[in-house]
Structure 1
Amino acid sequence: MSVTVPPFAVIPGAQVGEALRGRERDVVALMEETYRLHDAGRTHNPPSYFLTFADRPTSRIIALPASVGGDVNVDGIKWVSSFPENVAAGVPRASAVLILNDHDTGYPFACLEASIINASRTSASAALAADRLTRGRERPRRVGFFGVGLIARYLHTYLAATGWTFDETGVFDLKPESAEGFRGYLETQDGTGTITVHDDAESLIRNSDLVVFATVAGTPHVHDPAWFDHHPLVLHVSLRDLGTEVIEASTNIVDDVDHCLRANTSVHLVEQETGNREHVHGTLGDVLEERMTLPTDRTVVFSPFGLGILDLALGKDVYDHVTKTGGLHVVEDFFHELKRYG
């Protein structure tokens, strides 16, 4: 058998950003294709590994290994850090790299800056869910963003690029300067309608038909189901904002049951309390394949754990795009010992 070791390339953030700019609809379509592959059993997505620190309890670095079949046909891993205290120093909270491995030889063939990939796949996944989970329901006209960092900005971009417009856009953040900064960003965008910075969480939620949670919360802080009496769609991107009372009063859709019910996510806390998973009603794959009908008289909560397969699929797409445009930075002789006996 003859195999060839692929050349090793490095793709910096500027190239990643350029490869994805203006292609939001393509990215959403790719995320849908990847979810369908996952639903069909053509991916492998082991549990994520959390590296935590006794001296830095708010920080963590997560390893997400995965393998994607189909036309993507790539293996690899994302290594993503979350250091919330960076924000006070003016540095983004999250940083990441993505390694792509050749399917035939196992050799890594690319290292990509992955914070943009992470934000894009998270936002595209949420935008896909927002579209599919509102079919058969009245399309939300009021959106509220709870937590307004980089993910919130990307998520708004993906919603706007996939045809969403709103009569009202609400903003709430524990840091007033962040809320004002996000308001400034929204004022440069079309389709936002009236922009309101809310003074409290309850006001934001009660005045939103689509609620986006994009915080760094480690434990639930929204506990009153009455705030959701108007039955909004909730994109629970940050996974740990909602108390068990809210989860149990809602219809809960996840990206992957086994992945989402771990690491003390809100849906995992309900499992710990009840000893069962009856509060999880289905996956996004179930919705895409039309195996379930969503109720119109209950709050619907989408909790995406964030599957490594999405990062790999998007990373491979970026790699292919950069290769086609002729801008691939290959590191010559990265693999030096390629002869077994010298």
Structure 2
Amino acid sequence: MSDARSNWSSKIGFILAATGSAVGLGAIWKFPYMAGANGGSAFILPFIAMVLFFGVILIMAEMIIGRAGRGSVVTSFKRIAGKAWIPLGFIGVLTAFVIMTYYSTVGGWCLTYLFEAIRGNAASSDLALLEKTFKLTVSSPVSAIVYQTGFLAITAGVLIFGVNKGIERISKILMPLLFVLMVVLIIRGLTLPGAMEGLKFLFSPRWDQVTANSLLNAMGFTFFSLSVGMGIMITYGSYIHHSEDIPSSAIWVAVLAFISSILAGLMVIPPVIAFGLNPSAGPGLTFITMPAVFSHIPLGNVFAV
């Protein structure tokens, strides 16, 4: 088998790129309202257990398949297991495509807010106005399609430069920047009056809300937040050098993804409680809460950008 496929130029580059795939919307957009709706730490504790006990194993398995197959999920399955497994590979591709349709939709929302931030309109303490703005953002078909197309174009622009000069290079910049910005926003959010109640809400277990459905949500979020089960890590793993230590890389990806989720909860839930919002309000929670936090910090519009 020819092994002319390029490799990640560094271990840290691969870990940050894989973490970027794993974190994304799963941590910042979905985790806060999932935790809020499913019992706080009564949701977080099963999530931690699932990440550690089978999330890491699934990441390792997909990385190993990718490194052995040296190709996409379809190619790797074909080379390792034969043509009979090709349909399963295509199911992974289809799953990733379906996920991309709504990832790019939410990415379009982010672009909308980016341009509003550039215009100085992304920081406000008027919660009613923020809720109205979000509803208008998601209900305008022309605007949604335009910004979604813009988001896809940016994504394609990164991919054109390939693994090393595209994905890896931008991950080395954006992932550390993401963590820095989250920490800044967490510090400010925790100093808001009433924010400590948010910490209690996030970390105090409400065992009465633990149901079969909440555990199923924790399991689903584990797959969602780690980007496993759809072939993404197989494709990323196909660029891993044969001498790479896969177990340590998988553990780093899982741990960073988990830390990102907790940081997102700390970033969103305390301000939500402080502002009197519903912590289980759904996907719009982050888009309503963060502009309110920006309005309470110096250079809020700069942080909004």
Calculate the TM-score normalised by the size of structure 2: 0.22
The structure with the largest strand share of the pair is: 1
Greater RCO (Cα-Cα under 8 Å, separation 6 or more):
2
